[in-house]
Homo-oligomer: A and B are copies of this chain.
């Protein structure tokens, strides 16, 4: 069991992340770091080239390997988290059920189905699917893998930070990470906070759906703006008891609220300048970095968390 009082025991969390990295090594890729030239020296951490197309596979691998081997796995998701859990369950030859809201996009459901998971459609919004998944897991004694509100999942995402420590020779001036439920930024920040003490850790939130930034501001989960966004993978409300609220409050220096046109521009720049397909949530982080690019010679590290975008969205982005 991990003591999740991050502000008190960062060093112990760091060691836990190192142990997690060893445990999940065979399930995840060490993703490349791409150095870009320009007035701002920008290094892109390419989790969009991660297995299953996003960083989520790290957290899922950590959760699935944390305790005894489960006899079945359950998750609620229509996106990257579901794909990651389903792919790992496939590798480990574990039966897997993914609960999806009835409103989910057919394209994403097809991807999930192709991964070999059993899909269960739930009437209502994502929260209903999550509750149904929890009930089913309790009833079946299956392992429910949470998308962000779980220390093991956060330690999985922390392995990105451990890789950055090896790949980036000098602590950068700023680190940009997209923020949805906060699992990614909590993990990366816990790995880097002490080693990169002078680096500003910037959480990049969709202005259309800034739940975690609002929660950190208020000291608790509150009702947030919840509008459609290109950053669908990081949109949505946050669980009221999420451990990522305290973690982000302790570890993140500031939040940037990113507008939809900035997300689109960053996706376009990734396509045409960097030759990368990144999803809207990843574009949040790149857009955060692009905002402050006037600062000559600044060194930025940008975590690009995923690349799962449909052809329709790409067409729309290309205008």
Contact between B311 and A275, CB atoms less than 8 A apart: no
Chain B: minimal CB distance from A201 (Å): 25
Chain B: minimal CB distance from A80 (Å): 12
- Residues on the B chain within 8 Å of A53, using CB: 275
| Among listed A27-35, A219-227, A234-242, interface-contacting one | A27-35
Chain B: minimal CB distance from A12 (Å): 33
Contact between A272 and B311, CB atoms less than 8 A apart: yes
Scan residues 27-79 of chain A and give those whose CB is less than 8 A from a CB of chain B: 29, 32, 34-35, 37, 46, 48-49, 51, 53
**Which of A29, A53, A272, A275 lies at the interface centre, i.e. has the most chain B CB atoms within 10 A of its CB?**
A275
Give a binary string over A259-295; 1 marks a CB under 8 Å from any B CB, 0 the rest. 0000000001001101111100000000000000000
> How many residues of A are in contact with the other chain, CB < 8 A?
27
CA distance A22 to B285 in the complex (A): 35
Q: Does A169 contact B (CB under 8 A)?
A: no
- Residues on the B chain within 8 Å of A319, using CB: 311
Q: Which of B49, B276, B311 contacts A277 (CB 8 A)?
A: B276
Q: Does A250 contact B (CB under 8 A)?
A: no
A-B contact pairs, 8 of them (CB 8 A): A48-B275, A271-B311, A272-B310, A275-B308, A275-B309, A276-B276, A311-B319, A318-B318
Q: A residues near B, CB below 8 A?
A: 29, 32, 34-35, 37, 46, 48-49, 51, 53, 268, 271-272, 274-278, 307-311, 314-315, 318-319
